Amino acid sequence: MARTRDRRTFLRDVGITGGAGALFATMGALGLAPTARAEEYRPPRGGDLSTTGRRAAKVVVIGGGIAGLTTAYELGKAGYDCTVLEARARTGGRNFTVRAGDRTTDLYGHTQTARFADGQYLNAGPARIPQWMVTLDYCRELGVPIEVFTNVNADAYLYNESAGMTAPVRHRTAKADVYGYVSELLAKATDQGALDEQLTSTDRERLVEFLKDWGELGDRLTYDGGERRGYATVPAAAGTPGVPLGNVPSASEVFASGVGRYFSFEFGFDQAMLMFQPVGGMDRIPLALTRAVGAHRVRTGAVVSRITDTGRGVTVTYTQAGRTKAVDADYAVAALPPNILAKVPHNLGSGVQSALEAITPSSAAKIGLEYRSRWWELDHRIYGGITETDQDVVHIWHPSYGFGGERGVLVGYYNYGANADAYARLRPEERERRAVAAGVKIYGEKYRSELVSSFSHHWRQTPHLEAAWHSTPGGPDDVRYKPLNEPTGRVWFAGDWLSYTDAWQHGAFTSARRAVTSLHARVLAS
């Protein structure tokens, strides 16, 4: 989900790409530093304050999402006295796992109560973790078990109705065809001398040798299908060699189908398999963080109404259960979404306010469809993974847990922007009906007939958050955000929206670490 444009613009502007190359010049041509690391981080430690004779400063953390909880957790390691104010009834922010009994009311007034069976859940917010993100380090540190998130599956489907497809095609079939023809065309071009200027004869031999294997080309360097496409009847015992899928489309048909557009997803630095998820739901992370911070330090249902830097401290006023209250602290960390924070009165200056207003919220949504059987496993032999479509549901996720069990929750849509907003305007039962109609085109009638219940969640319409993620023009280090990236008086800011991995918990974790490091340094220097 993270947008890479800002990051790359930054790199080009400051010339870091070239500099990095020099770092690796002594390694093999294809070598790499064995460990791609996050920036170095040293958490504050118990002795930092006590051995220097400092008292434990009091910190108010506004927002109990990942950034806020992490701030309190990390500061707590050195003994800071933290109080977390969270507007919603639960911590975790956009890290929200929906289970039976969970009840929501969106900004349109649509109320839903989840009716999933025991053990079934929907990760309405973040749902996947790449290996390189610090999120996995927190899972380890907090004792949260993880398992594979099935981000890509050769047996899941692709469906482009607008290209004339009347039935879905499996990822594996589409990939065999696209790669087969790419291979054939490049082998032919090479053979005909089209690359003689770019490549030596040795290069060309190696290239064609690669293409024959990679594209499953026949002796005449042509693509004629093959078992990678899949079988209509699978190979089994003697007497059953298997019946391969027939009707290999032409190169022209393959490129016209547009299936190739879905392949680059799996190469993404933040999306390539293997991906992971906590066992039992993504909210195992905020639950563990909240436990580590101490539930007594977290006030839920606390809606912040004013932030005042007094010069000698920070006073945060909030309402809870209809009553106005206040917290006085030495410092504050504002870890709530910028679009919400921008609506809170404060005396932090116009630079802060205009920076917050420059960052704009984005829409995204999911619907969980619970089925009484795992017909996608039984009938379609699809165990996990994502079906990609050109429908307004966009992505359909097969569950990454409970394989071979009785029930399961599909994500019937994971969509963004106008698609998400269009569904948001519908009543929940209409969202379900529309999502199911799209799924039936791809999977058939069981997509409707086996359905038990559904629960949909739209982030732009979620009170106290009102965004799935944010757009930060120019990137988080643009000069206009300087008042947010440096402490403003006694107030720090943290959140994935102040990172190069917005929409990922990694951004929230590392942004919180940055605020914690800066705040702790200030305290130690004071």
Residue type, 405: G
506 binds its own copies (CB under 8 A): yes
Round to whole Å and give the CA distance between 509 and 68: 9
Q: In the window 352-391, what residues touch its own copies (CB under 8 A)?
A: 377, 379-385
Closest-CA residue to 397 (of 129, 124, 167): 124
Stretch that binds its own copies, among 108-116, 229-237, 284-292, 306-314 (CB under 8 A): 229-237
139 binds its own copies (CB under 8 A): yes
Judge residue 54's burial from the number of C-beta atoms within 10 Å of its C-beta, 0-12 exposed, 13-18 middle, 19 or more buried. Answer: middle
CA angle at 356 for the pair 110 and 7, rounded to the nearest 5°? 100
Q: In the window 258-317, what residues touch its own copies (CB under 8 A)?
A: 258-261, 263-264, 267-269, 272-274, 276
Q: In the window 444-503, what residues touch its own copies (CB under 8 A)?
A: 444, 475-477, 481, 484-485, 498-501
* Helical spans, DSSP H, in 318-449: 338-341, 350-358, 375-378, 417-425, 428-443, 446-449
Stretch that binds its own copies, among 165-173, 291-299, 334-342, 458-466 (CB under 8 A): 165-173
CB atoms within 10 A of CB 354: 13
In the complex, least distance from residue 89 CB atom to its own copies, rounded to whole angstroms: 28
20 binds its own copies (CB under 8 A): yes
36 binds its own copies (CB under 8 A): yes
Residue type, 58: K
Whichever of 206 and 427 has its CB closer to its own copies, that residue is 206
The DSSP 8-state label assigned to residue 260 in this structure reads G
22 binds its own copies (CB under 8 A): yes
Within its chain, how far is the Cα of 483 from the centroid?
Answer: 27
In the complex, least distance from residue 253 CB atom to its own copies, rounded to whole angstroms: 5
525 binds its own copies (CB under 8 A): no
Whichever of 291 and 381 has its CB closer to its own copies, that residue is 381
Whichever of 416 and 500 has its CB closer to its own copies, that residue is 500
Which are the contacts of 225, defined by CB distance < 8 A and separation ≥ 6? 176, 177, 180, 244, 245, 248
Which are the contacts of 196, defined by CB distance < 8 A and separation ≥ 6? 204
108 binds its own copies (CB under 8 A): no
In the complex, least distance from residue 232 CB atom to its own copies, rounded to whole angstroms: 5
Closest-CA residue to 523 (of 78, 222, 10): 78
Whichever of 36 and 321 has its CB closer to its own copies, that residue is 36
228 binds its own copies (CB under 8 A): yes
239 binds its own copies (CB under 8 A): yes
In the complex, least distance from residue 145 CB atom to its own copies, rounded to whole angstroms: 7
Whichever of 68 and 384 has its CB closer to its own copies, that residue is 384
Torsion sign across C-alpha atoms 502, 508, 510, 512:
positive
79 binds its own copies (CB under 8 A): no
Counting Cα atoms < 13 Å in the Cβ hemisphere of 525 gives 6
Whichever of 178 and 293 has its CB closer to its own copies, that residue is 178
133 binds its own copies (CB under 8 A): yes
Whichever of 424 and 519 has its CB closer to its own copies, that residue is 519
Residue type, 325: K
First to last CA, the chain: 40
Stretch that binds its own copies, among 89-97, 159-167, 411-419, 452-460 (CB under 8 A): 159-167
Whichever of 108 and 269 has its CB closer to its own copies, that residue is 269
Stretch that binds its own copies, among 75-83, 136-144, 281-289, 388-396 (CB under 8 A): 136-144
Stretch that binds its own copies, among 17-25, 312-320, 334-342, 414-422 (CB under 8 A): 17-25
Stretch that binds its own copies, among 9-17, 50-58, 92-100, 337-345 (CB under 8 A): 9-17
The DSSP 8-state label assigned to residue 479 in this structure reads G
Q: In the window 177-216, what residues touch its own copies (CB under 8 A)?
A: 177-179, 182, 185-186, 188-190, 192, 194-195, 198-200, 202-203, 206-207, 210-211, 213-214, 216
Round to whole Å and give the CA distance between 37 and 135: 13
148 binds its own copies (CB under 8 A): yes
Round to whole Å and give the CA distance between 285 and 264: 30
Round to whole Å and give the CA distance between 264 and 250: 22
- Whether 139 and 278 have beta carbons less than 8 Å apart is answered as yes
Which are the contacts of 51, defined by CB distance < 8 A and separation ≥ 6? none
Round to whole Å and give the CA distance between 400 and 474: 36
Q: In the window 393-452, what residues touch its own copies (CB under 8 A)?
A: 400, 403-404, 443-444
Judged by CB under 8 A, how many residues of this single chain contact its own copies?
154
Q: In the window 39-78, what residues touch its own copies (CB under 8 A)?
A: 39
